[in-house]
Structure 1
Amino acid sequence: MDTAVAAGDRSETTRLVASEALAVLGTGRQLTPFTARCPGFGLGEAYRVTADIRAERERQGETVLGRKIGFTNRTIWAEYGVFAPIWGYLYDRTVFDLAELGAGFPLHGLAEPRIEPEIIFGLAEAPVPGMDASALLGCIGWVAHGFELVQSIFPDWRFAAADTVAGYGLHGALLIGPRHPIASRHDDWNDALYAFEIDLYRNGEHADHGRAANVLDGPVPALRHLVALLAADDANPPLRAGEIVTTGTLTRAFPVAAGETWETRLTGLPLDGARIRFV
């Protein structure tokens, strides 16, 4: 990207940033953060980059399946220097069912990948701003547990918030466990989604402990936050029925490497733990 691009020429800046980000997609290569080279590059421009990247990925044949919410876990904000949630798109080439990954999941092409255990929603209806928790839960058709593999196209995970948005929302892949319909058990799910706990293990050794409250007090409030973010976004559409939303890491995010096996155990939520081996 030409750092001499005039600060006032926002459309040219977003085009160049999107082009750079797309050039390293799937390669494992990394870039100097955009905010370090383009003074004034902020979240507004970054979400326009997100829209440009989506348009190009769709032109190349990818399909948007939903959204990921990042930095909902307030316990990791200081670690990364990002102090509010962000979001990014999920695509058909980045979303996988854990049941189909018996041979393991390849890490090739991801830049400094890290693992995040998350709660994932499938939307039966489109949520709208102002919905309370009960109404939001009524929009959810299924709940699952799985892992998001996040990546940083910026070396050593050093960036500003706008960089994370422009860098695909840090999304690498989403590995989804069994999907559980919740239509007939809203009250049970509503209580459990605020109170459960989780333990994360690497090669059988305990790595971290997390709880529902870590993600903006629970996955449903995290969804509410995303709905509000999108309502204020003039470059990207609101959520639609059928989209997948993954609500943010319940523990710290940990670097992963080929040969490792990661698994979780959930307490207080009617979902099985998840397990994945990396190759």
Structure 2
Amino acid sequence: MAVLDYLNIKADVKLVLRDNLVELFMDKIIIADEISKAISQTQQIVPFSKRGILLSLQDAYDVASLVKENLDSPPEVGKKIGFTNRNIWDVYNVNAPIWGPITSKSVSFTETNFQKIDLSRFCEPRIEPEVVICLKEKPHHSDENLNIFIDWIAPGFEIVDSIYPNWAFALPDTIATGGLHGCLVVGKKLIINNDVERDLVDLKVRLFKGASFEEEGTGANVLDGPVSAIRYLHKSLADIKNQVLLSSGNIITTGTMTDAKPVFPGEKWTGRFEGIIESELSVEFL
């Protein structure tokens, strides 16, 4: 092959690759715009996976970052980890955990372990009882004893929401929306000065709707324990480009200990935590 022919082929390949990258970036912008509109207008849309749009994990997290920019989200104060409960993977057609940002607007704290929540801004909300952990330092390595980086733990309720009807989607669809995060209620904090990893594995929660018992869950359901879930998150964030890594002061809600339950205005839900966290957390929906 002549040198000139080789150079022409190489140039053509570069043009094709460049054009493909531009097209992919434009596709991400279009998808992010549609998701942003659905969230801001409390509307549901057909999952992209059902339209033949199969996003890679990297693409999905890129879209989520664009959505965050579109919505002019407040500063990120931590992460939510989703689908850490392997018992519900088949229910939601997923096969791995996800994560998304928690912002200063999406999290609230209650020292009385009671909070009222307006559901009008959500499409199809569900409630998840979770362990919330705050980091006092930035972790350095994923295999470290993460206990030394924990400042406090607390009971929490994450309200998750789906812009996809009937909670039917593929994993990348959920990532692209920001991990299905709606809001987070954090109960009374417990300052930590010792190793709590085993204690959090053994933690139990009994979930009630009014006086009706709904389900019991354990910390072990959360990717073998809430601290283990954070270890997974810390490692996985480094595997995806352009992610905000964990840092001092971050609040992390580690995933649901039970299945996510549909919620409606007028209901009161209570999580009775038993173990290292001995308290009740209640929310009333408006």
Q: Same fold (TM over 0.5)?
A: yes
* Partner residue in 2 for 1:18: 32
Question: 1:128 and 1:138 mapped to 2: Cα distance?
Answer: 11
Map of 1:229 onto structure 2: 236
Number of the residue aligned with 1:176: 186
SS of residue matched to 2:252: strand
What are the equivalent positions in structure 2 for 1:131-150 lying under 5 Å apart? Answer: 131-132=143-144, 135-150=145-160
After TM superposition, the structure 1 = structure 2 runs for residues 112-261 of structure 1, keeping only pairs within 5 Å, are 112-132=124-144, 135-182=145-192, 184=193, 186-187=194-195, 189-261=196-268
Distance across 1 between alignment mates of 2:220 and 2:112 = 30
Matches of 2:277 and 2:100, distance apart in 1? 28
Aligned sequence identity (%): 36
Contact 1:148 1:173 in 2 (8 A): yes
Hey, what does 1:3 align to over in structure 2? none
Deviation at 1:155, TM superposition (A): 0.6
**Structure-2-length-normalised TM-score:** 0.88
Distance 2:127 2:40 in 1: 17
* Equivalent residues of 1:257, 1:278 under 8 A apart: yes
Partner Cα distance (2:282, 2:121) in 1? 21
Change (3 A) 1:166 1:103: closer
Unaligned segments of structure 2, at least 5 residues: 1-18
Amino acid at match of 1:21: I
The CA RMSD measured in Å over matched residues stands at: 1.8
CA distance in 2: counterparts of 1:26 and 1:268, whole angstroms: 39
The number of equivalent residue pairs is 267
- Superposition deviation, residue 163 in structure 1: 0.2
Equivalent in the alignment of 2:97: 85
CA–CA distance in 1 between the matches of 2:205 and 2:25?
43
Quick one: which amino acid aligns to residue 168 of structure 1?
G
Following superposition, the deviation at residue 71 of structure 1 comes to 0.2
2:57 paired with 1:43: yes
8 Å Cα contact 1:72-1:215 kept in structure 2 = yes
With over 3 angstroms needed to count, the CA separation of the structure-2 counterparts of 1:265 and 1:116, relative to structure 1, is same
In 2, the alpha carbon distance for the partners of 1:170 and 1:261 equals 22
User: Would the aligned equivalents of 1:68 and 1:87 in 2 still touch at CA under 8 Å?
Assistant: yes
Shift of 1:99: 4.2
Which range moved further: 230-239 or 60-69?
60-69
Whole-angstrom distance in 2 between the partners of 1:128 and 1:161: 28
8 Å CA contact retained: 2:113, 2:187: no
What SS class does the counterpart of residue 119 from structure 2 fall into?
coil
* CA–CA separation in structure 2 for the residues paired with 1:167 and 1:64: 15
Give the distance between the partners of 1:165 and 1:100, measured in 2 at CA: 33
Is 1:97 matched up with 2:104? no
**Which 10-residue stretch deviates more, 31-40 or 106-115?**
31-40
* Structure number, greater radius of gyration: 2
Between the aligned partners of 2:129 and 2:265, the Cα distance in structure 1 is: 18
Distance 1:243 1:40, change over 3 A: same
Deviations 1:188-231 (A, max 9, x none): x2331121111100011100010111011100000011011101
SS state at 1:48 partner: helix
Q: 1:124 to 1:103 in 2, by over 3 A?
A: closer
CA–CA separation in structure 2 for the residues paired with 1:53 and 1:203: 36
Give the conservation status (yes or no) of the 8 Å contact 2:67–2:177.
Answer: no
The aligned amino acid for 1:90 is I
In 2, the alpha carbon distance for the partners of 1:139 and 1:26 equals: 36
Letter in 2 for 1:157: W
One-letter amino acid of the structure 2 residue matched with residue 140 of structure 1: I
C-alpha distance in 2, partners of 1:143/1:157? 29
Give 1:53 shift: 2.2
What is the CA–CA distance in structure 2 between the aligned matches of 1:275 and 1:210, rounded to whole Å? 16
